[in-house]
Amino acid sequence: MIKAVRGTRDLLPPDTELWNFVERKVREVFARYNYHEIRTPVFESTELFARGVGEDTDIVSKEMFTWEDKARAASEKTQTLTLRPENTAGVVRAYIEHELGRSGLLQKLYYIGPQFRRERPQKGRYRQFFQIGAEVLGPPTAGSELPMRDAEILDMLTALLDAVGLKGWTLYLNSVGCLDCRPAYNQALREALAGVKDQLCGDCQRRAETNPLRVLDCKVPADQPIFEKLPKIADYLDEGCRTHFAEVRAILDTLKVPYQVNERMVRGLDYYTRTTFEFTHGDLGAQSAVLGGGRYDGLSEQLGGPKAPGIGFAIGEDRLVLALQAQQQQALAPLKAFVMPLGKGMNRHAMKLAKELRAAGIAVDVSDESFRLKKSFETAEKLGAAFAIIVGENEVQAGAYAVKDLKSGEQTTVSGGELLAYLAD
Ligand code: HAM
């Protein structure tokens, strides 16, 4: 049997319903913020990612699907191509190529599509995965550098997460400075790391020299205590970066967007300047980042384009769907009790009991007095209820119910006063 390649997967119904629901909400919410769709190719010149994302990042140094594409005609050249590992570099390339800055307006672009990274597959981490992303960029005269753009994009993200119904996320925010002030921080970091280098993991020993900022991104548990004592980027931001970050935070406070500053969050791509952010979710285990992004004020120039500051993010759609599914399962908590009125006139009593139990937070469904007891038990089982509670005339008079544990089959009489405690055990 031929199977899907390691790290790739089929998305099947009914899961695809949830994917489509998410994408519908994305289009609705992003349109409200005046974003428009861009579709760039799934493969690009390798050089785009090497220059854009950075040679020394994990993505470029070890995770790209790259191949030599042989010339097929005298008019063609052999070239090195790569399946896109992310979409920001492609969007900025398109911005430059089509001279989108010429309108003088901000470009507010979004995309939904597959990305490819040769990572070790695990839950929430795939070799083909989907991103929902957005980028806002343009000439500085269009206001592309302003802190309000950063705040607007974060506000849009919270609106989207609200619209799809994701609860329990945390927004982590940081500023990684700019090309003017970061060298001093890099130097301080390099010096501090020199003293502790031999205690770090192999990757960090290499990064400590080539790209010290990357060290902060390390997830190896043994390295973490060492990082606590390293210099903090906030102490090295220049005046411009400091006021920019303060203004982003002030607007977020005004918009009541909750966040936590995390000075360790530098992100795994080299193009970031100033604001960086990630949203995490507790139900995702090790791969807890639902989305990440930040500002990239020098990227266009680095790719040979005009000055075009920008900021963007990408949501891991696979992870967003996983988090929503985990949440749904919690919401669809197994039915605790099936209340079964037995005999004429008992529906009212059953409804009263069900209401009391539900008010105490217990998931309850109710049968109907026209059901025979056998049918009620069968229904309770089909619904997966943990307990069946019989509400007949005798029970109502005695103020005690016959309660059957549907797993063990055991039946006991429980007084009304003890019922909640009994079900809770
Ligand atoms: P990134 O942090 O590399 O940023 O990826 C963004 C999100 O994509 C992650 O938070 C995660 O949810 C998801 N993701 C990444 N790798 C995988 C994987 N192997 N399997 C499943 N999901 C994954 C970027 O890609 C930047 N281009 C974001 C950006 C846009 N920054 C500015 N503009």
Burial class (CB in 10 A: 0-12, 13-18, 19+), 197: middle
Residue 316 Cα, ligand 1 centroid: separation in angstroms? 6
129 in contact with ligand 1, CB cutoff 6 A = yes
CB atoms within 10 A of CB 240: 14
Residue 370 Cα, ligand 1 centroid: separation in angstroms? 56
341 in contact with ligand 1, CB cutoff 6 A = no
CB atoms within 10 A of CB 45: 14
pLDDT for the residue numbered 342: 94
Mutation test residue for ligand 1: of 63, 112, 129, the one with most atoms within 8 Å of CB: 129
Per DSSP, the three-state class of 109 is strand
Residue 410 predicted with pLDDT over 90:
yes
pLDDT for the residue numbered 286: 80
236 in contact with ligand 1, CB cutoff 6 A = no
Question: Which ligand 1 atom is nearest residue 133's CA?
Answer: 30
58 in contact with ligand 1, CB cutoff 6 A = no
Residue 331 predicted with pLDDT over 60:
no
Q: What is the DSSP letter of 17?
A: H
Q: What is the pLDDT of residues 379-407, one digit of tens each?
A: 999 888 999 999 999 999 999 999 999 98
297 in contact with ligand 1, CB cutoff 6 A = no
User: What does the pLDDT average to over 28-32?
Assistant: 97
Backbone angles phi, psi at 211, to 5 degrees: -155, 75
Report the alpha-carbon distance of residue 405 to residue 380 in Å, rounded. 11
Q: What is the pLDDT of residues 154-213, one digit of tens each?
A: 999 999 999 999 999 999 999 999 999 999 999 999 999 998 988 999 888 988 888 898
Q: What is the pLDDT of residues 116-155, one digit of tens each?
A: 999 999 999 999 999 999 999 999 999 999 999 999 999 9
* Alpha carbon distances (Å) from 341 to 210, 240, 278: 73, 71, 52
